[in-house]
Structure formats: structure tokens, C-alpha cells
Amino acid sequence: MDRKYIENEHVVDRYLSGDLTVREARDFEKFCLDNPAFLQGLPIPVRLKTRLSRRPTDASETGMFDAIPSSTTRAAMAAVDDDDFDPDEAREEMRRSSSGGGASRVVVIALILAVVAAGAAAVIFGLQANALSAQLSGAKRELTATQMAAPGSVQRYKLQMVKTKPEQPTFALGWLTPPQLLDISVDATDGKITQFQITIDKTDGVRVMQIKRIMRDSNKEVRFTLNSSAFGPGDFLVKVEGYNWRGQTEVVGWMMLGLK
């Protein structure tokens, strides 16, 4: 007899109910005697554990107690010194300790998992709330920054184009407070093109505005006016294109305005 056999054949329960044969009872008692740690872990009364841990007497039929196949356990109970010991009560105690304890463990594990899940949900909710708060604050700042306002002054700037798309601002103004009306003149003396298209994009690719068919003036300058509060802080790429005789546009030059 071994642990697996005891578990699969419900030997402990059958031992307490007196349903083991004499041979099975003897083998079980011997296993308990040879394995005290296993005996102590059994869900049976302490007094019976004490009795099973003692060496059997030579006169006992099972090796420990006088017994017949249908009354092995009752004989064992009778051999316990306490006369008011109730075998049925012992079986009920074993049933409560085995089933109730397992149920209690399941409840405790379920409660622990629920607490862990609730804690994780609270952490995730807190992180999401913080991220949302940061996004709302950023959006509020951006909305305030890009809100159109009446310019406090007018300032004229004469700018030069570059041939290739710049990576850094070619003209840095910084953030203007109060806003300015930017009267911009772009030198367009090179070439014979007289009509131009101005496209302004933020460096992240967002289109800000596009002005079509601007004529250069008598000074061969392309002139346009911008309200600095319409852009918000950042760098803005200005693409200058000219219209050829077919009405198609081709790139003439580039600028980058720094407003931050």
C-alpha cells in the first residue's frame, strides 16, 4: 500500500467506516506506522493518530486491534482510552476537515485573486486618468496658444529663400507676445516667374495655409501678411512655388519660420 493507493481507493474514509478487509486495515496501519509524517497529515482525530503511531501487539488480529473485515475501525475506536469517543463523530470531523478546509482554501484564493485584480484595475485606471489629464492640459495650452488675437503691432520682414528644404529655421522670431502682424516680403528677383504660390506647413506635416497666385510687385518681391497668433508655437516650413506658362507650379525656394 502506498500514498497513491490510499488516495485512489479512499482508504482513510473506508477505514473510518469499517469497510476495509483485515488485510487492508493491517497494511494501512503498517503504512501509517512507517510514515509518521503522512499519519500526522491525515484528517482524522488526534487520539486515533496517537493510537496508530504505536507498535501493534502480537495478539491483535489486524496487527494492532482485534477486528473482523466489517468492524476494523470500530475495534480501533474501542481501543482508544477515552470511553466517550464516537466513531460517527470522528468521520464527520474528517469530512469537515477535508471538504471544509478545501472550500475555505478555494474561497481564500478567490478573494486574493479578486483583490489583486481590483488593485491592478485601480492602477490601470489611475495611469489612464493621469495620461488623459496630461492630454487635456496639453490640448488646453495648445488651444490657448493658437487662439487668434488682434495683433499689437505691425512689423515688416524682408526674407531670402534657400534652394533646398531647410532642417532648421532660416528666420527665428520666437514666440511673439503680444501677437504681431508680420508683413513679409520675399525676394523674387531671380527668374521670369511673376505669379507664386505660398504653402505653409508645420514641421509635423500639418497644413496651416496655402495662398495661391500672388503677384510679385514692382520691386520684384512677393509680399504677404500673417498674424503670428494664427500659428501657435513651433517651426513652420514655407514652400514658395512659381506658376509656369502652362499654369503648373514648380518649387522656387524654401524658408522656415521659427515661432517658439
pLDDT in tens, 80-121: 444 454 555 555 555 555 555 555 677 788 889 888 888 888
| Domain limit, last residue, from 32, 65, 85 | 85
Question: d(Cα 215, Cα 196) in Å, to the nearest integer?
Answer: 6
Q: Provide the pLDDT for residue 191.
A: 82
CATH number of the domain encompassing residue 252: 2.60.40.10
Name which of 16-25, 170-179, 251-260 the model is least confident about: 16-25
65 falls within a domain: yes
Question: What single-letter amino acid sits at 159?
Answer: L
- For position 19, what pLDDT does the model report? 79
Q: What pLDDT is stored for residue 165 in this prediction?
A: 93
Residue 95 has phi, psi (to 5 degrees) of -65, -45
pLDDT of residue 52: 76
138 within domain boundaries: no
Tell me, yes or no, whether 158 and 247 share the same domain: yes
Shared domain for 157 and 251, answered yes or no, is yes
Number of domains in the chain: 2
Does residue 100 belong to any structural domain of this protein? no
Among the candidates 34, 53, 85, a domain finishes at: 85
- Do residue 168 and residue 70 come from a single domain? no
Structural domain contains residue 139: no
Q: Look up the pTM and report it.
A: 0.44
Q: Which residue has the cell 503511531?
A: 53
Average pLDDT, rounded, for the chain: 79
- Dump pLDDT digits (tens) for 124-181: 888 888 888 777 776 666 655 556 788 888 999 999 999 999 999 999 988 888 888 9
Same domain membership, residue 246 and residue 161? yes
- The average pLDDT across 71-86 equals 48
Pairing of strands 207-215, 195-202: antiparallel
pLDDT of 196 over the 90 cut: yes
Same domain, 239 and 159: yes
Instruction: State the pLDDT confidence band at 239, using cuts at 50, 70 and 90.
Output: very high
Q: Give the residue, 22 or 57, on which the prediction is more confident.
A: 22
Same domain, 250 and 163: yes
Residue 72 lies in a domain: yes
80 & 157 share domain? no
Please tell me the distance from the alpha carbon of residue 80 to that of residue 66, in angstroms, as a whole number.
Answer: 13
Q: Could you tell me the residue range of the domain that residue 239 belongs to?
A: 153-259
**Does residue 141 form part of some domain?**
no
3-state helix, strand, coil split of the chain in percent (to 5) is 40, 25, 35
Note whether residue 9 is domain-resident: yes
Whether 158 and 77 map to the same domain: the answer is no
pLDDT band at 51 (very low <50, low <70, confident <90, very high): confident
Residue 190 lies in a domain: yes
58 against 187, higher pLDDT: 187
Domain's final residue, options 64, 85, 106: 85
Q: What is the pLDDT of residue 94?
A: 55
81 plus 159 within the same structural domain: no
